[in-house]
Structure 1
Amino acid sequence: MSPRRRRCLVSAPALALLIASAGCSSADEGVGTAVPTPDGKVTELCRNLDKQLPKKVDGLERADPEPKSELTAGWGDPAIILRCGVARPPKMKDPEADGVTVDGVNWLLEEQDDGSFRFTSTLREAYVEVTLPKERAGNGVSPLTDLAAPMKEAIPKGIAS
Protein backbone atom coordinates (compact mmCIF):
# COMPACT_ATOMS: atom_id res chain seq x y z
CA MET A 1 0.00 0.00 0.00
CA SER A 2 1.05 3.55 -0.60
CA PRO A 3 2.61 5.26 2.43
CA ARG A 4 0.23 8.19 1.85
CA ARG A 5 -2.79 6.00 2.49
CA ARG A 6 -3.65 5.25 6.10
CA ARG A 7 -5.14 1.81 6.39
CA CYS A 8 -5.64 -0.57 9.20
CA LEU A 9 -4.89 -3.95 7.69
CA VAL A 10 -6.91 -6.69 9.27
CA SER A 11 -5.50 -10.18 9.58
CA ALA A 12 -7.53 -13.01 8.06
CA PRO A 13 -8.48 -14.55 11.45
CA ALA A 14 -9.48 -11.16 12.86
CA LEU A 15 -11.56 -10.37 9.78
CA ALA A 16 -13.25 -13.79 9.99
CA LEU A 17 -14.21 -13.00 13.57
CA LEU A 18 -15.43 -9.52 12.57
CA ILE A 19 -17.58 -10.90 9.76
CA ALA A 20 -18.91 -13.81 11.83
CA SER A 21 -19.91 -11.50 14.67
CA ALA A 22 -21.61 -8.90 12.45
CA GLY A 23 -25.36 -8.58 12.70
CA CYS A 24 -27.45 -9.97 9.85
CA SER A 25 -30.77 -9.00 8.34
CA SER A 26 -32.89 -10.77 5.75
CA ALA A 27 -31.55 -10.67 2.19
CA ASP A 28 -33.50 -10.23 -1.01
CA GLU A 29 -32.60 -13.45 -2.82
CA GLY A 30 -32.98 -14.16 -6.50
CA VAL A 31 -31.66 -10.81 -7.72
CA GLY A 32 -29.68 -11.00 -10.99
CA THR A 33 -26.09 -9.86 -11.29
CA ALA A 34 -25.47 -6.59 -13.11
CA VAL A 35 -22.74 -6.89 -15.74
CA PRO A 36 -20.25 -4.00 -15.61
CA THR A 37 -19.58 -1.93 -18.75
CA PRO A 38 -15.91 -0.89 -18.58
CA ASP A 39 -13.83 0.59 -21.40
CA GLY A 40 -11.95 -1.63 -23.87
CA LYS A 41 -8.67 -1.82 -21.91
CA VAL A 42 -10.38 -2.87 -18.68
CA THR A 43 -12.65 -5.29 -20.55
CA GLU A 44 -9.55 -7.05 -21.91
CA LEU A 45 -8.03 -7.26 -18.41
CA CYS A 46 -11.31 -8.73 -17.14
CA ARG A 47 -11.41 -11.30 -19.93
CA ASN A 48 -7.88 -12.34 -18.97
CA LEU A 49 -8.97 -12.63 -15.34
CA ASP A 50 -11.96 -14.78 -16.33
CA LYS A 51 -9.61 -17.24 -18.05
CA GLN A 52 -7.54 -17.56 -14.87
CA LEU A 53 -10.31 -17.85 -12.29
CA PRO A 54 -10.37 -21.11 -10.32
CA LYS A 55 -13.03 -23.79 -10.71
CA LYS A 56 -13.51 -23.67 -6.93
CA VAL A 57 -13.48 -20.78 -4.46
CA ASP A 58 -13.65 -21.52 -0.75
CA GLY A 59 -14.44 -25.14 -1.70
CA LEU A 60 -17.46 -24.10 -3.79
CA GLU A 61 -17.91 -25.09 -7.45
CA ARG A 62 -18.05 -22.36 -10.07
CA ALA A 63 -21.65 -21.52 -11.00
CA ASP A 64 -21.71 -18.27 -12.98
CA PRO A 65 -24.66 -15.93 -12.52
CA GLU A 66 -27.11 -14.84 -15.20
CA PRO A 67 -26.68 -13.18 -17.55
CA LYS A 68 -23.52 -15.07 -18.57
CA SER A 69 -20.55 -12.77 -19.10
CA GLU A 70 -16.76 -12.85 -19.02
CA LEU A 71 -17.04 -9.93 -16.61
CA THR A 72 -18.87 -11.88 -13.91
CA ALA A 73 -18.32 -15.17 -12.10
CA GLY A 74 -19.88 -17.00 -9.20
CA TRP A 75 -19.25 -19.92 -6.87
CA GLY A 76 -21.79 -21.83 -4.77
CA ASP A 77 -25.41 -21.17 -3.88
CA PRO A 78 -25.94 -18.65 -2.42
CA ALA A 79 -23.14 -17.46 -4.64
CA ILE A 80 -19.94 -15.63 -4.01
CA ILE A 81 -20.09 -13.17 -6.91
CA LEU A 82 -17.15 -11.56 -8.71
CA ARG A 83 -17.71 -8.60 -11.05
CA CYS A 84 -14.74 -7.21 -12.98
CA GLY A 85 -14.62 -3.70 -14.37
CA VAL A 86 -16.92 -2.05 -11.84
CA ALA A 87 -16.81 1.68 -11.22
CA ARG A 88 -14.69 3.04 -8.40
CA PRO A 89 -16.78 2.89 -5.21
CA PRO A 90 -17.39 6.29 -3.58
CA LYS A 91 -16.20 4.79 -0.25
CA MET A 92 -12.63 4.68 -1.63
CA LYS A 93 -12.46 8.45 -1.05
CA ASP A 94 -13.07 7.93 2.67
CA PRO A 95 -9.76 8.00 4.58
CA GLU A 96 -11.43 6.01 7.37
CA ALA A 97 -12.64 3.20 5.07
CA ASP A 98 -11.72 -0.35 6.08
CA GLY A 99 -9.21 -2.22 3.98
CA VAL A 100 -7.59 -5.61 3.98
CA THR A 101 -4.63 -7.12 2.13
CA VAL A 102 -4.93 -10.79 1.21
CA ASP A 103 -1.92 -12.53 -0.34
CA GLY A 104 -0.64 -9.30 -1.88
CA VAL A 105 -3.97 -7.99 -3.19
CA ASN A 106 -5.53 -4.94 -1.50
CA TRP A 107 -9.28 -4.72 -0.99
CA LEU A 108 -11.75 -2.12 0.25
CA LEU A 109 -14.13 -3.79 2.71
CA GLU A 110 -17.78 -2.70 2.93
CA GLU A 111 -20.45 -4.37 5.03
CA GLN A 112 -23.83 -4.16 3.30
CA ASP A 113 -27.21 -3.55 4.95
CA ASP A 114 -28.30 -7.14 4.21
CA GLY A 115 -25.37 -8.67 6.14
CA SER A 116 -23.29 -9.43 3.05
CA PHE A 117 -19.78 -8.07 2.51
CA ARG A 118 -18.43 -6.39 -0.60
CA PHE A 119 -14.71 -6.28 -1.31
CA THR A 120 -13.38 -4.07 -4.13
CA SER A 121 -9.78 -4.36 -5.28
CA THR A 122 -7.56 -1.31 -4.91
CA LEU A 123 -4.28 -0.29 -6.50
CA ARG A 124 -4.97 -2.40 -9.63
CA GLU A 125 -5.64 -1.27 -13.22
CA ALA A 126 -9.23 -2.52 -12.97
CA TYR A 127 -11.66 -2.57 -10.08
CA VAL A 128 -12.81 -6.07 -9.20
CA GLU A 129 -15.70 -6.52 -6.79
CA VAL A 130 -16.31 -9.70 -4.78
CA THR A 131 -19.53 -10.04 -2.80
CA LEU A 132 -19.86 -12.59 -0.03
CA PRO A 133 -23.49 -13.29 0.87
CA LYS A 134 -24.19 -13.27 4.59
CA GLU A 135 -24.43 -17.08 4.52
CA ARG A 136 -20.81 -17.25 3.30
CA ALA A 137 -19.36 -14.49 5.47
CA GLY A 138 -18.35 -16.81 8.33
CA ASN A 139 -15.17 -17.90 6.53
CA GLY A 140 -13.80 -14.37 6.47
CA VAL A 141 -11.44 -13.61 3.61
CA SER A 142 -10.75 -17.20 2.53
CA PRO A 143 -12.52 -16.64 -0.83
CA LEU A 144 -10.14 -13.75 -1.50
CA THR A 145 -7.20 -16.08 -0.86
CA ASP A 146 -8.39 -18.30 -3.73
CA LEU A 147 -8.70 -15.26 -6.00
CA ALA A 148 -5.35 -13.61 -5.17
CA ALA A 149 -3.14 -15.47 -7.66
CA PRO A 150 -5.48 -14.92 -10.64
CA MET A 151 -5.85 -11.25 -9.67
CA LYS A 152 -2.08 -10.72 -9.50
CA GLU A 153 -1.62 -12.50 -12.83
CA ALA A 154 -4.40 -10.80 -14.82
CA ILE A 155 -4.86 -7.34 -13.28
CA PRO A 156 -1.58 -5.39 -13.04
CA LYS A 157 -0.81 -3.08 -10.16
CA GLY A 158 -1.68 0.51 -10.88
CA ILE A 159 -4.55 2.94 -10.61
CA ALA A 160 -7.78 2.17 -12.45
CA SER A 161 -9.18 5.06 -14.43
Structure 2
Amino acid sequence: MASRDLLNRLPAPVRWLALPAALLGCTAWLAVSWSGDPDVAPPGQDAGTARYCAALDAALPAEVLGHRRADPSPASPYTAAWASSPRTVLTCGADRPDLLNDTERKGPCVDEVGWGLAEDGAGGYRFATGLREAYVVVEVPAGAYGNYADPLGSFSSAIRATVPRIDGKADSDCLDDAS
Protein backbone atom coordinates (compact mmCIF):
# COMPACT_ATOMS: atom_id res chain seq x y z
CA MET A 1 0.00 0.00 0.00
CA ALA A 2 2.87 2.38 0.77
CA SER A 3 4.24 2.05 -2.75
CA ARG A 4 0.82 2.91 -4.19
CA ASP A 5 0.66 6.06 -2.06
CA LEU A 6 4.12 7.02 -3.22
CA LEU A 7 3.14 6.47 -6.85
CA ASN A 8 -0.03 8.56 -6.42
CA ARG A 9 2.01 11.47 -5.03
CA LEU A 10 4.01 11.69 -8.26
CA PRO A 11 2.82 14.19 -10.87
CA ALA A 12 0.52 12.65 -13.51
CA PRO A 13 2.99 13.00 -16.44
CA VAL A 14 5.63 11.08 -14.48
CA ARG A 15 3.16 8.30 -13.68
CA TRP A 16 2.10 8.06 -17.33
CA LEU A 17 5.66 7.91 -18.63
CA ALA A 18 7.03 5.48 -16.04
CA LEU A 19 5.95 2.30 -17.83
CA PRO A 20 7.01 3.42 -21.35
CA ALA A 21 10.38 4.57 -19.95
CA ALA A 22 10.92 1.22 -18.26
CA LEU A 23 10.04 -0.66 -21.46
CA LEU A 24 12.36 1.54 -23.51
CA GLY A 25 15.19 0.90 -21.05
CA CYS A 26 14.65 -2.86 -21.24
CA THR A 27 14.57 -2.75 -25.02
CA ALA A 28 17.84 -0.78 -25.14
CA TRP A 29 19.49 -3.23 -22.74
CA LEU A 30 18.40 -6.20 -24.88
CA ALA A 31 19.65 -4.55 -28.07
CA VAL A 32 23.08 -3.94 -26.56
CA SER A 33 23.35 -7.41 -25.04
CA TRP A 34 22.37 -9.12 -28.31
CA SER A 35 24.55 -7.01 -30.60
CA GLY A 36 27.59 -9.30 -30.43
CA ASP A 37 28.01 -12.53 -32.41
CA PRO A 38 29.57 -14.99 -29.96
CA ASP A 39 28.83 -17.89 -32.33
CA VAL A 40 31.23 -16.53 -34.99
CA ALA A 41 34.72 -16.55 -33.53
CA PRO A 42 37.61 -15.53 -35.80
CA PRO A 43 40.34 -18.15 -36.15
CA GLY A 44 43.96 -17.45 -35.21
CA GLN A 45 46.55 -17.26 -38.01
CA ASP A 46 50.22 -17.03 -38.75
CA ALA A 47 51.49 -13.85 -40.45
CA GLY A 48 51.28 -15.22 -44.01
CA THR A 49 47.76 -16.52 -43.59
CA ALA A 50 46.73 -13.25 -41.96
CA ARG A 51 47.94 -11.31 -45.04
CA TYR A 52 45.94 -13.52 -47.40
CA CYS A 53 42.83 -13.27 -45.24
CA ALA A 54 43.11 -9.48 -44.94
CA ALA A 55 43.42 -9.21 -48.74
CA LEU A 56 40.44 -11.52 -49.19
CA ASP A 57 38.38 -9.52 -46.70
CA ALA A 58 39.05 -6.33 -48.68
CA ALA A 59 38.06 -8.04 -51.96
CA LEU A 60 34.81 -9.62 -50.73
CA PRO A 61 31.58 -8.18 -52.11
CA ALA A 62 29.38 -5.75 -50.18
CA GLU A 63 26.35 -7.71 -51.34
CA VAL A 64 25.73 -11.36 -52.21
CA LEU A 65 22.64 -12.10 -54.28
CA GLY A 66 20.68 -9.25 -52.74
CA HIS A 67 21.91 -9.76 -49.17
CA ARG A 68 24.06 -6.94 -47.76
CA ARG A 69 27.27 -7.60 -45.87
CA ALA A 70 26.80 -7.46 -42.10
CA ASP A 71 29.98 -8.71 -40.44
CA PRO A 72 29.98 -10.25 -36.98
CA SER A 73 31.09 -8.14 -34.03
CA PRO A 74 33.89 -7.57 -33.23
CA ALA A 75 35.02 -6.84 -36.78
CA SER A 76 37.74 -9.16 -38.05
CA PRO A 77 39.41 -9.73 -41.43
CA TYR A 78 38.96 -13.47 -40.80
CA THR A 79 35.16 -13.58 -40.73
CA ALA A 80 32.50 -12.01 -42.91
CA ALA A 81 28.74 -12.44 -43.03
CA TRP A 82 25.89 -11.47 -45.27
CA ALA A 83 22.51 -10.56 -43.82
CA SER A 84 20.50 -13.30 -45.39
CA SER A 85 18.06 -14.71 -42.94
CA PRO A 86 19.57 -16.99 -41.87
CA ARG A 87 22.97 -15.50 -42.61
CA THR A 88 25.83 -16.80 -44.72
CA VAL A 89 29.23 -16.78 -42.97
CA LEU A 90 32.70 -16.90 -44.58
CA THR A 91 35.74 -17.73 -42.44
CA CYS A 92 39.33 -17.46 -43.63
CA GLY A 93 42.44 -19.00 -42.10
CA ALA A 94 41.02 -21.74 -39.90
CA ASP A 95 42.61 -25.18 -39.64
CA ARG A 96 42.02 -27.62 -42.48
CA PRO A 97 38.30 -28.44 -42.44
CA ASP A 98 37.49 -32.12 -41.90
CA LEU A 99 35.16 -32.09 -44.87
CA LEU A 100 38.22 -31.90 -47.15
CA ASN A 101 39.43 -35.27 -45.86
CA ASP A 102 36.50 -37.13 -47.43
CA THR A 103 37.10 -37.62 -51.16
CA GLU A 104 33.39 -38.31 -51.69
CA ARG A 105 32.49 -34.83 -50.48
CA LYS A 106 33.93 -33.05 -53.48
CA GLY A 107 31.79 -30.03 -54.26
CA PRO A 108 31.44 -27.79 -57.27
CA CYS A 109 34.08 -25.96 -59.25
CA VAL A 110 32.96 -22.32 -59.44
CA ASP A 111 34.92 -19.71 -61.41
CA GLU A 112 38.03 -21.91 -61.34
CA VAL A 113 37.91 -22.46 -57.57
CA GLY A 114 37.18 -25.96 -56.32
CA TRP A 115 35.09 -26.47 -53.22
CA GLY A 116 34.73 -29.34 -50.80
CA LEU A 117 31.16 -29.86 -49.61
CA ALA A 118 29.37 -31.23 -46.55
CA GLU A 119 25.86 -30.98 -45.17
CA ASP A 120 25.67 -29.13 -41.86
CA GLY A 121 23.01 -31.38 -40.30
CA ALA A 122 20.37 -28.63 -40.29
CA GLY A 123 19.56 -28.59 -44.01
CA GLY A 124 22.39 -26.22 -44.95
CA TYR A 125 25.88 -26.77 -46.33
CA ARG A 126 29.52 -26.05 -45.52
CA PHE A 127 31.95 -25.43 -48.36
CA ALA A 128 35.73 -25.22 -48.08
CA THR A 129 38.56 -24.46 -50.46
CA GLY A 130 41.56 -26.75 -50.59
CA LEU A 131 45.13 -26.42 -51.88
CA ARG A 132 45.21 -22.71 -51.00
CA GLU A 133 47.60 -20.81 -48.75
CA ALA A 134 44.64 -20.20 -46.42
CA TYR A 135 41.53 -22.33 -46.04
CA VAL A 136 38.27 -20.52 -46.74
CA VAL A 137 35.04 -21.95 -45.34
CA VAL A 138 31.58 -20.75 -46.32
CA GLU A 139 28.55 -21.80 -44.28
CA VAL A 140 25.29 -21.56 -46.21
CA PRO A 141 22.29 -22.24 -44.00
CA ALA A 142 19.09 -23.86 -45.23
CA GLY A 143 16.78 -21.40 -46.92
CA ALA A 144 19.32 -18.62 -47.41
CA TYR A 145 19.29 -18.95 -51.23
CA GLY A 146 17.30 -20.76 -53.90
CA ASN A 147 20.27 -23.07 -54.57
CA TYR A 148 22.72 -23.82 -51.77
CA ALA A 149 25.76 -23.25 -54.04
CA ASP A 150 24.56 -19.90 -55.44
CA PRO A 151 26.72 -17.65 -53.22
CA LEU A 152 29.98 -19.39 -54.18
CA GLY A 153 30.17 -17.42 -57.42
CA SER A 154 30.28 -14.22 -55.37
CA PHE A 155 33.36 -15.43 -53.45
CA SER A 156 35.39 -17.44 -55.97
CA SER A 157 36.91 -14.56 -57.95
CA ALA A 158 37.98 -12.79 -54.73
CA ILE A 159 39.55 -16.02 -53.43
CA ARG A 160 41.31 -16.67 -56.74
CA ALA A 161 42.74 -13.13 -56.74
CA THR A 162 43.93 -13.03 -53.11
CA VAL A 163 44.63 -16.55 -51.79
CA PRO A 164 47.12 -18.37 -54.04
CA ARG A 165 47.23 -22.12 -54.54
CA ILE A 166 49.90 -23.90 -52.50
CA ASP A 167 50.97 -26.05 -55.45
CA GLY A 168 51.65 -23.14 -57.80
CA LYS A 169 49.30 -24.53 -60.47
CA ALA A 170 47.09 -22.31 -62.55
CA ASP A 171 43.58 -21.92 -61.23
CA SER A 172 42.06 -23.17 -64.46
CA ASP A 173 42.63 -26.77 -63.31
CA CYS A 174 40.37 -26.99 -60.29
CA LEU A 175 39.58 -30.67 -60.57
CA ASP A 176 42.13 -31.25 -57.81
CA ASP A 177 41.51 -27.99 -55.95
CA ALA A 178 39.17 -29.34 -53.29
CA SER A 179 41.46 -32.17 -52.26
Q: TM-score range by the shorter chain?
A: 0.7 to 0.9
Residue 47 (structure 2) aligns with: 40
Cα distance in 2, alignment partners of residues 55 and 136 from structure 1: 17
Deviation at 1:96, TM superposition (A): 2.1
Q: What one-letter code is carried by the residue in structure 2 that aligns with 1:140?
A: Y
Q: Contact between 2:140 and 2:148, CA under 8 Å: does it hold in 1?
A: no
Does residue 1:93 correspond to 2:101, yes or no?
A: yes
Q: Which has the larger radius of gyration?
A: 2
What code does the residue aligned with 1:119 have?
F
Structure 2 portions without partners, runs of 5+: 1-36, 168-179
Paired with 1:108 and 1:95, the residues of 2 have a C-alpha distance of 9
| Deviations 1:102-142, CA, capped at 9 Å, x for gaps | 11111110101122211011121110000011121532322
Corresponding residue for residue 139 of structure 1: 147
Q: Determine whether 1:128 maps to 2:142.
A: no
Instruction: Judge conservation of contact 2:100–2:128 (CA < 8 Å) in 1.
Output: no
Counterpart of 1:56 (choices 53, 60, 63) is: 63
RMSD: 1.6
Alignment of 1:1-161 (within 5 A): 32-76=39-83, 77-158=85-166
CA contact (8 A) 2:59 2:158 kept: yes
Paired residues in the alignment total: 130
Q: Runs of 5+ in structure 1 lacking a partner?
A: 1-29
Higher helix share: 2
Contact 1:32 1:66 in 2 (8 A): no
Task: State the match for 1:6 in structure 2.
Answer: none
Q: Look up the SS of the partner of 1:81 in the other structure.
A: strand
Residue 135 of structure 1: SS of its match in structure 2? Answer: coil
- Give CA deviations for 1:73-119 in whole Å, capped at 9, x if unaligned: 01113211000001102232222223211111111101011222110
* TM-score normalised by structure 1 residue count: 0.75
Equivalent-residue separation in structure 2 for 1:64 and 1:91 (angstroms): 24
TM-score (norm 2): 0.68
Mapped partners of 2:99, 2:62: distance in 1: 31
Distance in 1, Cα, partners of 2:66 & 2:145:
14
**Alpha-carbon distance between aligned partners in 1 of 2:118 and 2:146, rounded to the nearest angstrom:** 15
